[in-house]
């Protein structure tokens, strides 16, 4: 795949976002508990979901935005998998998020740009504890 000017601009914008709002997180592949530290940018996705009665519920999903090239385990670039976990440490508290689809037909993750340089990973808080 050839690199376009848009791909280059997207990569530069992602680097700026990582510098300005990124934080170091631990991405853990399950099963196997292989892990890597990557810079992630916190995000939110908003969805609407209708229940069996047709009532619409607004929901927000916690996202982590990660450069696709940074997600490397055992010298191999990987795609996120449902069940993988992301640990975020804030003020001596570690929050554990699990990669999962939001339940709206949307997959657990998607590329954010045509050049596939950035990932938007949907997660749910599944645990917390002292760092």
Cα–Cα separations (whole angstroms), residue 45 to 42, 112, 117, 123, 125: 10, 12, 19, 10, 14
- Please name the helix (run of DSSP H) or strand (run of DSSP E) that holds residue 13, with its range, or none: helix 5-21
pLDDT of residue 71: 95
Judge whether residue 82 has pLDDT over 80.
yes
pLDDT per residue over 12-70, tens digit each?
Answer: 766 676 666 789 999 999 877 899 999 999 988 887 877 888 888 887 889 999 999 99
> How far apart, in whole angstroms, are the C-alpha atoms of residue 127 and residue 75?
29
Cα–Cα separations (whole angstroms), residue 101 to 10, 11, 43, 66, 106: 25, 25, 15, 17, 6
> How far apart, in whole angstroms, are the C-alpha atoms of residue 116 and residue 33?
26
DSSP 3-state of 84: coil
- Supply the pTM of this predicted model: 0.81
Domain boundaries, the chain: 5-130
Are the C-beta atoms of residues 18 and 3 closer than 8 Å to each other?
Answer: no
Strand partners, 48: 58
pLDDT of residue 124: 93
Judge whether residue 1 has pLDDT over 70.
no
Are the C-beta atoms of residues 78 and 72 closer than 8 Å to each other?
Answer: yes
pLDDT of residue 20: 66
Judge whether residue 125 has pLDDT over 80.
yes
């Amino acid at each position: 795949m050839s690199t376009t000017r848009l791909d280059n601009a997207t990569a530069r914008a992602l680097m700026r976002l990582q510098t300005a709002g990124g934080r170091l997180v631990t991405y853990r592949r399950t099963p196997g508990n292989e892990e890597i530290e990557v810079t992630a940018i916190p995000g939110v996705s908003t969805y609407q979901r209708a229940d069996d009665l047709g009532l619409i519920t607004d929901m927000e999903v916690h996202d982590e935005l990660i450069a696709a090239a940074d997600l490397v385990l055992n010298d191999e670039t990987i795609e996120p998998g449902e069940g993988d976990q992301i640990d975020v440490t804030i003020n001596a508290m570690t929050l554990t998020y699990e990669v999962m689809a939001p339940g709206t037909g949307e997959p657990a993750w998607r590329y954010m740009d045509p050049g596939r340089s950035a990932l938007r990973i949907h997660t749910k808080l599944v645990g917390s504890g002292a760092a």
